[in-house]
Chain A
Amino acid sequence: MRILLTLLLLAFTLTTSAQQSIITITEKSGKKITDIPRSGEQVVDINSELTLTIDKEALKAKIVDNIPDLQGSFDLQTQIDQFEAALNFQDQVLTAMEGNLDDAETMDELYAGLTGFYNYLGRQGTNSQIYKETASLLNQYFSNDVNTFVAGQKVSKEYYVFTHLNEELSSLKTELAKQPNTSYFVSMTAYLQTEFGKAGRVHIENFDNYALQEFYEVPRWVTTLSADQLQSLKEIQAQAQANNERRADLFEELKTKFLAALPDLKCAQEAKANITAFLTDGTVSSRLSTAVKDKAQELIAQYEQIVGLIETVKTTVSGLSVDTVFEIYGLIDQVKKQAESIKNVFTDFDALIQVIAGIQAEADALTDEVKDCIKKLSNFGAAFDQLVGILKGHQVRYQDNLELGKEVKRFTVDNLPAEGFLQLKRSGKREDGDRLELNLLLGIPKEGKDPTSTNPDDYDLIKLEPWLLQMQTLGFYSRTYVGLIMADPYNADSLSGVEALQERRFLYAPSAGLLLKVGLRNSRFYNDFLSPGIGISISTPDFDTNGDPEFGTGLVLTAFKNILSIGINYNVTLDVPYWSFGVNLPFNLPGIPINRPQ
């Protein structure tokens, strides 16, 4: 039983230590300070400021997990740090001891230094090297070590201890210098993912040089709905919707387009065949000089090279996955240079054959055909640039934002800032439910590569601790919405002159409302999915179907981010109560006039 309990305790301890996070996030919203636990829902106030504090000991442990060679260096560096911190007090103590101890100020200095020194040792604990070393030195001092005497005088224990701690510190530094020089760096990045499908880097003070975004505070109390704003949101939503549907296949689709845009090899092969035919034509051949023939052979060779290059491009693009390093830029340059070279060689060749008498017709025919092909190759170069730009941009987004630009600072454990600061109000336009991805990254330069290189091919990146924060207006807030409702009057029969309602129970009506909602810190499910709201709505039903909408108003309940709404209303114009419901899915079905409310 005891063994079982011990094992359970050990398992718990291991689990707890495994879950120990490197980054501690503290949120400041107004005057309120809140810790955001990594094991929790990771929901933060959408307008808050975040302080990211790094636990260097936990970071070291994680780095050693990935680079075991660093264990020795880290241990030595920890000891050096402790010795240096303890020795910070030596000047204060020794200077005061050499001074006039009858002077109250000197005594204050002396005891401030001694208190700092012994309290520091106490904080490090009896197992720390600095504590053990100091205790050992004091033991030696009172064992009348010969070194306690200088010029026949016994030195003070403080002088003895500090002197020997300095010597030990020097030894530790020498030892550290002998450790293998393993290169690494630590960086931290933040990335905003919005529902609009837009995304971008977010500046973390102390950790990168990205510019702050325009100030944008998500309002807590929204009470107006402008037509421009609605239109803008609809357009953005439509774009996001289209992007979402295509997202999974976009990379493959772009690749297909890319391959389709490659020039038809037939053109190059035919041009090559025509030049060969031109050279072997009986009537032409005899009139050609050796220089012309050599130039023609050069042109043929150039065509053969570009055919080979285009085949290579096709193979490379077909094999690209979204995660592979993009290697096509070099090839593109080669193709473009080759096309330019063909153009130049052909210009020389053309100039030579145009002056040869008696072959003008054949020369003109050949010139037209080859020029046409050269034009196609040149156009292809421009198309390349455009498509590769799209493909590259898409790949960068899919590479999980790991590529580090020169703006992202690189640190080692020694110079890593203890804290980073992130202002959500300066992170760009966002809305409730958007995500903020934080990554603490370990970069390991590849063998033989420049450790300072920003080329992602030159280093491996390991995510040490990713966070995915949800930004949310917390507590009560209001939002406007619009949607389409199905309205059903209670006493349709009593309405005079209403014929349409005899045949159908529900009528569509546009509706707009003002909702009171609540954002929770402890439930993403609630914020993301349930998200109920209660409020007032207005609608413009046309119960009498005369073409003039009436005015209705009432109370509305919404759920699932306003997708589902149910309301009790009153048609003020016709003096008729009605209930309504709306199912406003976030996508359109052909023929059904339903859209997501804004």
Chain B
Amino acid sequence: MALQHTTEIPLDDLPKAQALYQGLKNQKCILMIVLGDSKATQDGVQIADNLAPTSPGGFTRKVMWVKNHTVLKEELEPYLHAAEIIKDDTPYEEIKCFCLTLSPRKAQSRIHKNGVMDYIRVEQLYIEAESQSL
């Protein structure tokens, strides 16, 4: 199924990647960020995309998919540090998914790369970010 609410970040064009990220960041939307390109992650992106238009509170939801943990690391990692999600035993490379609130952008929790990215967990991340955006 096509991804209708997801922006794929190019891995070979950093300026474009940064521009796309800035564009999404500046939009008034709840922003789900998915990292990696495993099969489970691809399925997870589809789930996040499916859930995007179903916000029960009417929030706009968007998905940003970065297929590796290198591109935009400098931009994204601080959110996880600020939320104390990244710790000694959980580096950036072990994060699969997290969700940013409306402005000011911040993350609350995440899905670990070994974690399940199913409808419940992804929706839970959306709900968490939305409730923090009220």
Q: Identify the A interface with B (CB < 8 A).
A: 93, 97, 101, 104, 107-108, 110-112, 114-115, 118-119, 121-122, 126, 131, 134-135, 138-139, 142, 156-158
Contacts and interface: CB of A to CB of B under 8 A. Distances in A.
A114 B54 contact: no
Nearest to A138: B119
B130 A139 contact: no
Contacts of A119: 124
Contacts of B124: 118-119, 121-122
A567 B128 CA distance: 73
Contacts of A112: 131
A110 B56 contact: yes
Which has the most chain B C-beta neighbours within 10 Å: A114, A135, A156?
A: A114
A131 B120 contact: yes
Nearest to A97: B56
A111 B118 CA distance: 20
A110 B130 CA distance: 11
A76 B130 CA distance: 35
Contact of B134 (A104, A126, A156): A104
Interface residues of B, number: 18
Q: Classify the interface of chain A: helix, strand, loop or mixed.
A: helix
Contact of A107 (B50, B118, B134): B134
B134 A138 contact: no
Contacts of B116: 126
Nearest to B125: A118
Contacts of B131: 111-112, 114-115
Contacts of B104: none
Q: Classify the interface of chain B: helix, strand, loop or mixed.
A: helix
Nearest to B54: A157
Contacts of A135: 118-120
25 contacts: A93-B56, A97-B56, A101-B58, A107-B57, A107-B134, A108-B134, A111-B130, A111-B131, A111-B134, A112-B131, A114-B56, A114-B127, A118-B120, A118-B127, A121-B120, A121-B124, A122-B120, A122-B121, A126-B118, A134-B120, A135-B118, A135-B119, A138-B123, A142-B47, A142-B50
Given A104-B134, A118-B127, A111 B57 contact: yes
Given A138-B120, A142-B50, 10 more contacts: A101-B57, A101-B58, A107-B134, A111-B127, A114-B127, A115-B128, A121-B124, A122-B120, A122-B124, A156-B56
A126 B120 CA distance: 10
Contacts of A118: 120, 123-124, 127
B83 to A, nearest CB: 17
A110 B57 contact: yes
A104 B131 CA distance: 11
Contacts of B58: 101
Interface in B40-54: 47, 50, 54
The 7 closest A-B pairs by CB, nearest first: A138-B119, A111-B131, A118-B124, A142-B50, A114-B127, A157-B54, A135-B118
